[in-house]
Amino acid sequence: MIKLKKIHKRFEDKVIFEDFSLDIEEHKITCILGPSGIGKTTLLKLISGLSKVDYGIITGLSDKRCSFIFQEPRLIPWLNAYDNINYILESVYTNQKSRDSIIRHHLMMVGLSDDMNSYPDNLSGGMKQRLSIARAFAYPSDILLMDEPFNSLDMNLKLSVMESFKNLWKESNKTVIFITHDIDEAILLSNTLHIFDENPARIVFSKTIAPDIMTRNVNDDSLMRIKTEILQNI
Amino acid sequence: MRISISSNRNRLIGITIIIIFWQVLYVLIKKDIYMPSPLNVIRSFVHITTDKDFFAVISSTTFRVLLSFAISTFIGLLIGLVCGLNKIAYEIFEPVIVLIRSTPVISIIIIALIWFRSDYAPVFTGFLMCFPVIWSNVVHGIKSTDQQLVEMSKIYMVKPIKIIRTVYIPSAKPFIAAGLTTSLGLAWKVIAAAEVLSLPKYGIGSKLHDSKIYLESDKLIAWTLIIIIISYLFELVLMRFLSKQNRSNDNGLEGL
């Protein structure tokens, strides 16, 4: 279990977190839902170690690696799809053969086997984000942090990228912390959902979503009821 | 192909206009000492290039230019990289660069003449002129690197040396290329000027000085043309090399 205990974080005059606590279950997808500027991205930066808490502690992270799927794919333009993944794996796997099979497998899982020699500029928006997802899952991390990764995609593309994500997650069983402000994405992809609101940030609503993520459909009655419940609490 | 032919034709027209304008000035002034005729300059050019000392003169100046350029490139890249990556190093070095940049070239040449032999004073002057150009281009290039890529690399715990090789240096390449091209052209001008004052046994600057002393304007212009041609050829070779590097980079090769 990853535990944030009474953490404080401020940027200059703005208090982001004050006495904030949160438990995150391992090997599950925890979704943080809330409006922009509430501190969702800061939370991911604190967990990934990119930013430090002013006070309080975060436990359950020792010796754990993180991977990240950003809102924008953050691919290196002068490396092809294969090398973009190879770049982050070189320091983890010294054996070229094992690296090669991991990269090929993950590219295949996101449907980019035929594009492994393509450069990011030659990939569509959806392909770029799928490559960024493949990179995050290829990395041997325990925790996957996702900061509104489907935000810039249109609906059809979003569903296909989400499908790639679900397949890889089922295979890897990583602990996922997923940030979004889209209720449908949250309902489709999370085991536990927390709604953030107010300044400093606090959790105003939490919900465990039972149905299997792999078979969820946004039009299911049970999910519709959850959606209504969420809307009442936002 | 058609664009290349038409731009070559335009260049030829430009050069023809300059020569016609030159000839007209010569006819108007009618004094070879102020304005030698294009024909006299061509005669001097042929005379200079067929002289037995020509190769020694050219190779000496070229050696000085390449030596100062190589030292400036090596130190400029190294210190520029450190300063681009580290704010404290940048703040320490910036005043030094401002000081070098603000010092008149003539002062640097005279100081170099006091410190070094006449053969090497131009090399030192060339270094002090070219190093700040390369340094600032490298710093600018490193600082303009997409920080999102650096942040991504840090999250995936990529080794710093790998981040420098794969992210920072390719990002800074266009800036480095511009800095190298500018400083190579600058090196030719500065070293020729420094040779005029330091008067090494062999050097284009020494020949320019002799032309001035003996009031041989045709030779003065012929030597100037030789500097322009050689400097242009070197820039051309450098640009070809850099664009080849860029193509390799586009094909996925890392680093410089």
Average pLDDT, chain A: 87
pLDDT band at B249, cuts 50/70/90? low
| Total tally of structural domains belonging to chain B | 2
Residues of chain B with Cβ-Cβ distance to A70 below 8 Å are: 148, 152
- Residue B161 amino acid letter: I
Residue range A203-212, pLDDT digits in tens: 888 888 877 8
Q: Does B156 contact A at CB distance below 8 Å?
A: yes
Residues of chain B with Cβ-Cβ distance to A83 below 8 Å are: 252
Contact between chains at B156 and A48 (C-beta distance less than 8 A): no
CA–CA separation, B73 vs B237, rounded Å? 16
Q: Does B148 contact A at CB distance below 8 Å?
A: yes
pLDDT reading at B52 higher than 50: yes
Q: Which residue has the tokens 């090196």?
A: B187
- CATH code where residue B136 lies: 1.10.3720.10
Non-local (6+) Cβ contacts of B125 within 8 A are B68, B105, B108, B109, B112, B190, B191, B193, B194
pLDDT reading at B255 higher than 70: no
* DSSP-derived pairing of the beta strands A2-11 and A143-147: unpaired
Encode burial over B192-218: b for 16+ CB neighbours within 10 A, e otherwise: bbbbbbbebebbbbbbbbebeeeebbb
Contact between B26 and B37 (Cβ < 8 Å): yes
What whole-number percentage of chain B has pLDDT above 70? 94
Interface of B with A in 90-129 (CB under 8 A): none
- Residue A142 amino acid letter: D
Same domain, B109 and B26: no
Same domain, B70 and B91: yes
Which of A70, A74, A87 is facing B166, going by the closest CB pair? A87
Distance from the Cα of B203 to chain A's closest Cα (Å) equals: 44
Same domain, B132 and B233: yes
Same domain, B18 and B91: no
Q: What is the pLDDT of residue A186?
A: 87
Residue range A141-175, pLDDT digits in tens: 999 999 988 887 777 778 888 888 888 888 888 89
* B202: in domain: yes
Contact between chains at A88 and B249 (C-beta distance less than 8 A): no
* B204: in domain: yes
Contact between chains at A66 and B252 (C-beta distance less than 8 A): no
Same domain, B17 and B97: no
SS3 state of residue A42? helix
DSSP 8-state code for residue A62? T
Distance from the Cα of A119 to chain B's closest Cα (Å) equals: 8
Residue range B61-77, pLDDT digits in tens: 999 999 999 999 999 99
Contact between chains at A74 and B149 (C-beta distance less than 8 A): yes
CA–CA separation, B236 vs B73, rounded Å? 17
pLDDT band at A86, cuts 50/70/90? very high
pLDDT band at B248, cuts 50/70/90? low
Same domain, B84 and B188: yes
Contact between chains at B158 and A91 (C-beta distance less than 8 A): yes
* DSSP-derived pairing of the beta strands A14-24 and A66-69: unpaired
* B138: in domain: yes
Domain carrying residue B219 = 36-250
Reference B130, options B60, B77, B68, B84; nearest CA is B68
Cβ contacts below 8 Å, chain A against chain B, sum to 48
Same domain, B23 and B89: no
What is the CA A172 to chain-centroid distance, rounded? Answer: 13
pTM: 0.81
∠A150-A151-A154 over CA atoms, to 5°?
Answer: 80
Query: Within A51-124, where are the H helices?
Result: 81-89, 96-109
